Amino acid sequence: MRNSITVSPILLSEYEQAVKSTDLFLESEIIPIQMGLFGEVGSVMTASKKLYREENAFSVGYMDDVEEELGDTLWYFTALCRRFKFSLADLFSEVLGSGNYSVHIATNSDPNYPVSQVISVNNLKQHHTVLLKLGEHTAHLLCIEIEPKKVKPLLLEFIRIYIEALQALEVSFSSVINGNIAKVKGRFIKPSLEDLPDFDSTFPLEEQLPRTFEIEITQRPNGRSYLRWNGVFLGDPLSDNIVDQDGYRFHDVFHFANAAILHWSPTFRSLIKHKRKSDPKVDETQDSGRAIVVDEGVSAYIFSQAKTLNFFEGHTSVSFDMLEDVSNFVRGYEVEQCPLNLWENAILQGYEVFRHILKHNGGIVVGNRDKRTLEYKSL
């Protein structure tokens, strides 16, 4: 998903404003933010340790991982500054106004800011040394007093080391910030329907996923589930394929949820023979074998987690880690454009219907792509 993010210069004040609405902690909550900050810095170190240990085997994904963790670090640090009434931009400005930096004047592509200062750290240490210092100064922030006067020097020192880490790790600060904005907004801000992608609206109707659909699911005495759409049976009858019966025979519900809410399901397309064959490239890369495996793999992975969570009964959210794993799993496919919030919606709606189907050994699944909803109706 990060590969599709537009990277452009951004003011730190704009970053502060952009992520403010994603800070759902209470204004009085500081400890969770301190712990989150410490955890994210640890994640930066973990990514760097993998590069050190595995070298080329990890180098491909290294930059994405480090940029993401540095972005999360900045998010928590900004939230901490917010609680002590400090502006992130002002703190950065104060740090950069001190010594140990080389300053150069450069042209800028933004006509509103034709000239910019380019700043780099003098006498920069190796990245592992800088990261150890970053960890040390993060630990200092775990013990901060409530008095702003005592907090500010610690915040300034953290920023100084954070800037060194950006340069030592050779990452783009613009990529870090733009990636973080996209990530946290995609996770915490409910998108408007008109802003969401529709992957097949330009294709003929026979190559589109249906805008509305009702799928009848029944279970017969042999324990297998059967699907029927518009009077036609779909696919092969399914069993749980496991010793301890867990209801996976009804897992097609999750593909229907993906189709209705994400507008994506290569598995459902294949079942109803609505592949986008008018565009051979789309047919091959988005609707065929490997894409179907990804769709099935995501379903199986989430199901393995959901079994330990009572199939999300009573849940109003899905863990960030699970959503991140799903996001990584679908990289390279059109559905990577869908924000994490929409994935969460698809998972929760899908499992709500699944629980009804499991309880009654069948039912009717009602999908509406225009409303991005999935509902249960009794037989």
What's the rounded Cα separation, in Å, for the pair 137 and 180?
22
SS3 139: helix
Cα–Cα nearest to 155, from 101, 43, 36, 74: 74
142-171 pLDDT, tens digit each: 887 767 778 999 999 999 999 999 999 889
* Amino acid occupying residue 349: Q
Answer yes or no: are the C-beta atoms of 77 and 15 closer than 8 Å: no
Six-digit token string for 166: 């950006």
Answer yes or no: are the C-beta atoms of 140 and 154 closer than 8 Å: yes
What's the rounded Cα separation, in Å, for the pair 72 and 183?
9
Residues in the chain: 379
Q: What is the pLDDT of residue 204?
A: 97
Answer yes or no: are the C-beta atoms of 144 and 51 closer than 8 Å: no
249-261 pLDDT, tens digit each: 999 999 999 999 9
Q: What is the pLDDT of residue 1?
A: 45
Q: What is the pLDDT of residue 105?
A: 87
Q: What is the residue-wise DSSP string for 192-221? A: PGGGS--SSTTS-GGGSPPSEEEEEEEE-T
DSSP state of 98: S
Six-digit token string for 275: 């592949």
Q: What is the pLDDT of residue 110?
A: 80
User: Could you say which residues of the chain have pLDDT below 50?
Assistant: 1, 3, 57-58
Answer yes or no: are the C-beta atoms of 158 and 95 closer than 8 Å: no
pTM of the model: 0.82
Q: What is the pLDDT of residue 317?
A: 95
What's the rounded Cα separation, in Å, for the pair 240 and 246?
7
Task: Sketch the domain layout of the chain as residue ranges.
Answer: 2-189, 194-377
What distances in angstroms separate CA 218 from CA 31, 177, 359, 377, one per listed residue?
Answer: 50, 49, 12, 12
